[in-house]
A and B are shown apart, each in its own frame.
Chain A
Amino acid sequence: MAPADTTTRVPLDGPVAGVPEAVARRPPVAAVGPIAWARANLFSSWISTAVTLLLAYLIARAAIAFAEWAVVNAIWQVPGNQTQACREVKGIGACWAVVTEKHRFILFGTYPYEEHWRPALVILIFVALYAVSAMRRFWRQELVLVWAGALTLIGILMWGGDSAPRLLPQPWEQLLALALLAGAGFAHVRGWINVAWPAAALVFALLAWAGPVLGLSYVPQERWGGLPITLILATFGLAFAFPLAILVALGRRSGLPAIKTLCVLYVELIRGVPLISLLFMASVMFPLFLPEGMNIDKLLRAQIAIILFAGAYLAEVVRGGLQALPRGQYEAADALGLTYWQKTGLIILPQALRLVIPPLVNTFIGFFKDTSLVLIIGIFDLLTAGKTAIVEPAWQGFGVEVYIFVGVIYFLFCFAMSKYSQNLEAELNRHRRR
């Protein structure tokens, strides 16, 4: 077997004549490299060459036009609210001045201007929380503590003042918290949980009462707005909806008819109603059902509506994963004597969830953006803040620039989610590779 093209042969140290078959060969030169790729995919025939050139021309024109509008002719700053310069270039140049001028309002809403560092810090806490949670190294039970801590810290920063009465508005809730704290201490003494849990609970509790000591002024929830609202709704919405969804999905496959019916009802009822009407119900009708004098925060009500809504959708995604598992996996786990929860936690869910990472992330991304619907019940999320920023007469008509700015922020978060899920999928499905 003497290859005709001897240039593709790898030079050998030893004698070649003895083992002619065993010679390792490089792939044919033309098959690799960008030039070869372009030749194969873009210029393989005259018609594909023509299409390639035409599309290249159109794309280039669009790109140049956008660059002219967004960069070359753009106005980055105007003095005060003098938007005359912007109005003159309208249509041919972007007025980024509106973003320069209003970015703090878009990001933080009506939060008191001199306290903006607090919501800014909250955004950083969220990003750090995502980063920590994303690392598989940290996927341990202590991560729950980190989340609880982040939640407390975010509440304290956003509210300030004495946050405790607002984190736990009712006296009975404060009593309950104390009871939980005592319970955690007891559980530690009995050796059921490690010391981190009661210690962390104590720190959170003390922090919640420490607002005035830290010198944070009180900011009522009505003044919160912008990106922190979006992140709060999306993060805690999904963080609570996901476990709920797992329980509902398991419940739907339960052998107990009562539990099964309840789960089916929940999913079907919630799925059959638009999120908007659920938000309306949460904001208008829900308070009517509460006992006299009890008042749940508006943001919390919207948050609950979002959790319930996302939970129903995610439950169906998770159920898809559960159904995709062969029955043999359940039987093998049963035959080994694992309990229901061991079987579910160690065998079923790890496999089922990996299978549904793409639709899960799809739903996550969808809900991250759907949080913007809270605007209809008067909550000031990122998108609403952007919209409100251009209500002022001086800045009217510069919506495109603001929406691009807001869109880029949404995109960054969603794209990060998407990218991360791709990596996670590849990593978790390593066992399927041969």
Chain B
Amino acid sequence: MSETAPADGTVASAARTDAPPAILLDRVNKWFGTLHVLRDVSLAVAPGERVVVCGPSGSGKSTMIRCINRLEKHQEGRIVVDGIELTDDLRALDAIRREVGMVFQSFNLFPHLTVLENCTLAPIWVRRMPRKEAEELAMELLTRVRIPEQAHKYPGQLSGGQQQRVAIARALCMRPKIMLFDEPTSALDPEMIKEVLDVMVELAETGMTMMVVTHEMGFARQVADRVVFMDRGEIVEVGTPAEIFNDPKTDRLKLFLSQILRGH
């Protein structure tokens, strides 16, 4: 957070491209039944790098991001997260899920637990943190997402934007090295989108490795080191926000950009 954003409003990159990648996808293939949803997807994300993924509906963005913490299993290829390869080995899986936080489109907060309990649950049970310490950590992060006063309410009592910020705090409470976001603002009313994006921009400023599926072009321009464009299960183009948005190479990307620009 101490890092100050450059004058043009973009967040300075903290990516260290020389280090081994935080996330490595190597010719990953996945099928749902006979539907080929990921086709030879290869991508390396450096520690501290912020990658935005975009593409038309059904192109496999969610599937790709969900493969990274194995909410979906890939069938071919290699996925290496933080130096650990994703296999059927359960211990490797536990280790990875501890390091990777995820934020969902539909928040998926636990409705029977208070906001504070939502945040302390995983630290207490997975990290074996003493309750008091977990609560202090949770309050610190709730303050960071600017809703400490809601700590003792239930998720159902909060607005969508507040719920999504709780979801971000909940994921951060595990002190993850990598954060995955799957369309975090798509379920929100326009006036709440900004409050969530602001939190995410701040998070990017801390140097967190982030992979974000979103169609928020403003956010991508401001925060992303690279933008990945997917279509029909393939990574079609990868480049800086300027390259992708101002200078699309493929027809598919041009079509997609014209569609979302028309939509906005």
CB-CB contacts of B91-122 with A at 8 A, as 1s and 0s? Answer: 00010011011101011111111000000011
Are B69 and A335 in contact (CB-based, < 8 A)? Answer: yes
Are A337 and B108 in contact (CB-based, < 8 A)? Answer: no
Q: Give the nearest-CB partner of B95 in chain A.
A: A337
Most buried by A among B69, B112, B113, B126: B112
Are B122 and A337 in contact (CB-based, < 8 A)? Answer: yes
Are A332 and B110 in contact (CB-based, < 8 A)? Answer: yes
Are B109 and A332 in contact (CB-based, < 8 A)? Answer: yes
Q: Does B165 touch A at the CB level, under 8 Å? A: no
CB distance from A426 to the nearest CB of B (A): 14
What residues of B have a CB within 8 angstroms of the CB of A431 in the complex?
111-113, 154-156
Provide the bound-state CA to CA distance between A354 and B122, in Å: 22
Are A335 and B71 in contact (CB-based, < 8 A)? Answer: yes
Provide the bound-state CA to CA distance between A326 and B110, in Å: 11
CB distance from A343 to the nearest CB of B (A): 10
Provide the bound-state CA to CA distance between A350 and B117, in Å: 14
Are B110 and A347 in contact (CB-based, < 8 A)? Answer: yes
Interface size class of B (residues with CB under 8 A): 20 to 34
What residues of A have a CB within 8 angstroms of the CB of B112 in the complex?
350-351, 354, 428, 431
Q: Does A136 touch B at the CB level, under 8 Å? A: no
Provide the bound-state CA to CA distance between A299 and B112, in Å: 40
Are B156 and A432 in contact (CB-based, < 8 A)? Answer: yes
Interface residues of A in 347-391 (CB under 8 A from B): 347, 350-351, 354
Q: Give the nearest-CB partner of B106 in chain A.
A: A328
CB distance from B165 to the nearest CB of A (A): 15
What residues of B have a CB within 8 angstroms of the CB of A432 in the complex?
111, 154, 156
Q: Does A297 touch B at the CB level, under 8 Å? A: no
Are B108 and A334 in contact (CB-based, < 8 A)? Answer: no
Q: Does B50 touch A at the CB level, under 8 Å? A: no
Known: A334-B71, A337-B98. A329 touches B110 (CB 8 A): yes
Interface residues of B in 9-51 (CB under 8 A from A): none
CB-CB contacts of A311-341 with B at 8 A, as 1s and 0s? Answer: 0000000000000001011011111111100
Q: Does A346 touch B at the CB level, under 8 Å? A: yes
Provide the bound-state CA to CA distance between A333 and B102, in Å: 10
Q: Does B74 touch A at the CB level, under 8 Å? A: no
Are A332 and B108 in contact (CB-based, < 8 A)? Answer: yes
Q: Does A137 touch B at the CB level, under 8 Å? A: no
The contact of A337 among B110, B154, B157, B174, by CB within 8 Å, is B174
CB-CB contacts of B53-75 with A at 8 A, as 1s and 0s? Answer: 00000000000000001010000
Q: Does B170 touch A at the CB level, under 8 Å? A: yes
Are B126 and A336 in contact (CB-based, < 8 A)? Answer: yes
Q: Give the nearest-CB partner of A329 in chain B.
A: B108
Are A338 and B125 in contact (CB-based, < 8 A)? Answer: yes
What residues of B have a CB within 8 angstroms of the CB of A336 in the complex?
97, 121-122, 126, 170-171, 174
What residues of B have a CB within 8 angstroms of the CB of A350 in the complex?
112
Most buried by B among A336, A339, A350, A432: A336
Q: Give the nearest-CB partner of B94 in chain A.
A: A337
- Residues of B that sit less than 8 Å from A by CB: 69, 71, 94, 97-98, 100-102, 104, 106-113, 121-122, 125-126, 154-157, 170-171, 174
Q: A337-B97, A351-B111, A351-B112 are in contact. List 20 more A-B contacts (CB 8 A).
A: A326-B106, A328-B104, A331-B104, A332-B108, A335-B69, A335-B97, A335-B102, A336-B97, A336-B126, A336-B174, A337-B98, A337-B174, A346-B121, A350-B112, A431-B111, A431-B112, A431-B113, A432-B154, A432-B156, A434-B156
CB-based closest 7 A-B pairs: A337-B97, A332-B108, A328-B108, A431-B154, A336-B122, A335-B102, A337-B126
Of the A-B pairs whose beta carbons lie under 8 Å apart in the complex, a sample of 8, sorted by A's number, is: A328-B104, A337-B98, A337-B174, A338-B126, A342-B126, A347-B110, A351-B111, A354-B112
